[in-house]
Amino acid sequence: MKLAIILDPLESIKTYKDSTYAVMRAAHARGHALYVMEQHEVILVEGAVKAHAHRLEMLDDALRWYTVEAPAWRALAEFDAVLMRKDPPFDMEYVYSTYLLELAEEQGARIFNRPQAIRDFNEKLSTAKFPEFMPPTLVTRQQALIREFIDKHGDIILKPLDGMGGSSVFRIHRHDPNLNVILETMTQLGDRTVMAQRFIPEIAQGDKRILLIDGEPVPFALARIPKTGETRGNLAAGGKGVAQPLSVRDYEIAAAIGPKLRQEGLFLVGLDVIGDWLTEINVTSPTGMQEIASQTDFDVAGMFVDRLENACS
């Protein structure tokens, strides 16, 4: 199988935790050919979507883990599978990339995750497609409505719809002395829509990342436990990742959501679950594979490649 991967610069990859690296290792071990490219190397020329693709060979040297050949222009349709693994931010350049990849699909390319689905599933707002699993939530840019929401619930989380890694996430109490300035800043004086959710105290036990691969859950979640004094479990915010078996509720959420996401073309998804509640559906570049594998010996990347081989057969 010829596998193309759109990713961040190779020199920026943290091999000890990066999920794309784990997938490449698993695919390489099975003899699949790897080609890599950055976002700007995917272009439309003379009606065809092509990429400046670099053939990559994996090495066993921890310091110098790869070599790449000189790049060559290749149509994305020439590959058996194309993985979109560019990390956020999900900005207009990311959106333009999904347009190009959607054109590539029309020309015969197989893209994972499907470009339209990446574009359609805002990682915060898409939880509203599954209201039975969503905590009490308000999405608005009206400060008065957010104040009413705070008065009702007393303790809330306020976050932007385009954030990542826990950035700009605020926990607000009814009598917070900084309430006005937080609302003004977060809504940009009423010009930016944000999400408010009732605070879930089970965050103390971790913000669980549940990986779905082709609609099926990995049997272990990565519970990201906040450090002392924090309410955010994100690893980027200093949280500690602890792998744990899925709970009955976790399986219930995965069983209800997984097949629907699979139908949309979302091959790899990271569900964020706090307590019994679904808080995010991550579709751009979900991670957590290596942390789960190292703590449980469950080969998450191997499961990914298994399912990818089946999808492309």
Given a contact cutoff of 8 angstroms between Cβ atoms, the answer to whether 237 and 159 are in contact is no
Catalytic one of 209, 214, 234, 250: 209
Catalytic one of 50, 86, 124, 198: 124
Q: Which domains does the chain have, with CATH numbers?
A: 2-115 (3.40.50.20), 125-129+202-308 (3.30.470.20), 136-199 (3.30.1490.20)
Catalytic one of 18, 224, 234, 250: 224
State yes or no: is 152 an active-site residue: no
- Gap between the Cα atoms of 175 and 217, Å rounded: 40
Instruction: Write the CA distances from 73 to 53, 93, 96, integer angstroms.
Output: 6, 21, 19
State yes or no: is 280 an active-site residue: yes
State yes or no: is 17 an active-site residue: no
Output the tens digit of pLDDT for each of the chain's 313 residues: 999 999 999 999 999 999 999 999 999 999 999 999 999 999 999 999 999 999 999 999 878 999 999 999 999 999 999 999 999 989 999 999 999 999 999 999 999 999 999 999 999 999 999 999 999 999 999 999 999 999 999 999 999 998 887 788 999 999 999 999 999 999 999 999 999 999 999 999 999 999 999 999 999 999 999 987 787 777 776 789 999 999 999 999 999 999 999 999 999 999 999 999 999 999 999 999 999 999 999 999 999 999 999 999 9
Catalytic one of 50, 159, 198, 208: 159
State yes or no: is 171 an active-site residue: no
State yes or no: is 224 an active-site residue: yes
State yes or no: is 192 an active-site residue: no
